[in-house]
């Protein structure tokens, strides 16, 4: 056997040993991800990465409440792509969900959210999550809970709706500007909202709904319509009396930050 053959055999042996070591070691990133119950952040109508981007920066860097572990990006064709800033932390893990088509119907967007959660289940073994949704993001998250969660998809432990108009948007001026499928669904008494009211809500999920008197898009009266969709014993409502705290200001408010923290993690994060 010549020197070249000996080196080749030695290299093959190292590969085999390395493979055996990898097989015998648990995937720390996946096991920690599963252990920590991830929290998904779902933007609303016409939302972007910035919709929850600054809130997540505060949570992670200013308050030290956890880390942004994963970004899911859903294309207009419904293809799920993911980016992994960090995995392997034991503090609460944040997952930001971004829809390229941010004006799709409730039904379409909730099915995309279901695809994201299915990927989390299949890839990381996640069967239990929290969700925070702003505006229409809260509505499509509720649609997911009523339509998809169960044996085939992860269940939702706790859900926070931030400025979500569950009775639709009352301003006619709003619909003179917006004419897409999401806008159709956001009209009061739309078929999508009626359908959402008709579906039963899972009895294990606790819900917090946050609104502001300064929100002229999701006015408190419309936000309160969540009472028709979630049983009273599972629902907590907070109306912030602040006439300058507008619709998009809600996910920039440190007061809202604190409400989310207390509802989701106060008994878990020190």
What would the pLDDT profile of 78-127 be if each residue is shown by its tens digit?
999 998 777 766 678 999 999 999 999 999 999 999 999 999 999 989 99
Judge whether 100 lies within some domain: yes
Choose the weakest-confidence range: 66-80, 87-101, 200-214.
87-101
pLDDT for residue 60 is more than 60: yes
User: Is residue 19 assigned to a domain?
Assistant: no
Does 155 map to a domain?
yes
**pLDDT (tens digit, 9 = 90+) per residue, 37-59?**
999 999 999 999 999 999 999 99
Asked if residue 4 belongs to a domain, the reply is no
Q: Is there a domain that residue 165 lies in?
A: yes
The per-residue pLDDT for 35 is 59
Query: What tens digit of pLDDT does each residue of 166-192 get?
Result: 999 999 999 999 999 999 999 999 999
The Cα 263–Cα 93 span in angstroms is: 16
Residue 50 placed within a domain: yes
Q: Which domain holds residue 191?
A: 25-264
Q: What is 227-246 written as a DSSP string? A: GGTS-GGGEEEEEE--TT--
Q: What is the pLDDT of residues 19-40, one digit of tens each?
A: 323 323 234 445 455 557 999 9
Do the domain assignments include residue 200? yes
Express as a percent the part of the chain with pLDDT over 90.
76
Determine contact, residues 149/111, Cβ cutoff 8 Å.
no
10 pLDDT above the threshold of 70: no
Q: With cut-offs at 50, 70 and 90, classify the pLDDT of residue 266.
A: confident
Of residues 208, 206, 183, the one with CA closest to residue 193: 183
Whether the CA torsion 118, 186, 208, 61 is positive or negative: it is positive
Mean of the per-residue pLDDT values of the chain: 87
pLDDT of residue 269: 44
Confidence bin at 270 (pLDDT 50/70/90): very low
C-alpha closest to that of 144 among 107, 110, 109: 110
In the chain, how many domains are there? Answer: 1
Domain CATH for 81: 3.40.50.1820
Decide if 98 is inside a domain: yes
């Amino acid at each position: 056997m010549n020197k070249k053959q000996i080196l080749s055999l030695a290299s093959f042996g190292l590969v085999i040993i390395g493979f055996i070591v990898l097989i015998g070691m648990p995937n720390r990133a996946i096991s920690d991800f599963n252990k920590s119950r991830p929290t998904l952040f779902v933007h609303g109508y016409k939302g972007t990465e910035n919709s929850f981007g600054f809130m997540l920066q505060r949570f992670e860097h200013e308050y030290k409440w956890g880390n942004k572990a994963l970004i899911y990006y859903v294309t207009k064709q419904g293809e799920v792509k993911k980016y992994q800033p960090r995995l392997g932390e034991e503090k609460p893990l944040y997952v930001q969900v971004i829809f390229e088509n941010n004006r799709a119907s409730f039904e379409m967007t909730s099915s995309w959210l279901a695809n994201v959660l299915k990927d989390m289940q299949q890839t990381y073994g996640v069967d239990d999550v929290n969700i925070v949704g702003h505006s229409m993001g809260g509505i499509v998250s509720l649609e997911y809970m009523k339509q998809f969660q169960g044996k085939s998809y992860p269940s939702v432990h706790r859900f926070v709706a931030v400025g979500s108009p569950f009775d639709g948007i009352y301003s006619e001026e709003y619909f003179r500007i917006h004419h897409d499928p999401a806008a159709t669904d956001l009209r009061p008494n739309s078929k999508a909202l009626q359908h959402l009211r008709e579906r039963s809500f899972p009895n294990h999920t606790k819900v917090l709904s946050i609104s502001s008197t300064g929100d002229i898009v999701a006015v408190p009266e419309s936000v309160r319509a969540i009472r028709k969709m979630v049983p009273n014993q599972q629902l907590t409502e907070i109306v912030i009396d602040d006439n300058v705290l507008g619709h998009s200001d809600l996910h920039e408010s440190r007061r809202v930050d604190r409400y989310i923290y207390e509802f989701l993690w106060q008994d878990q994060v020190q």
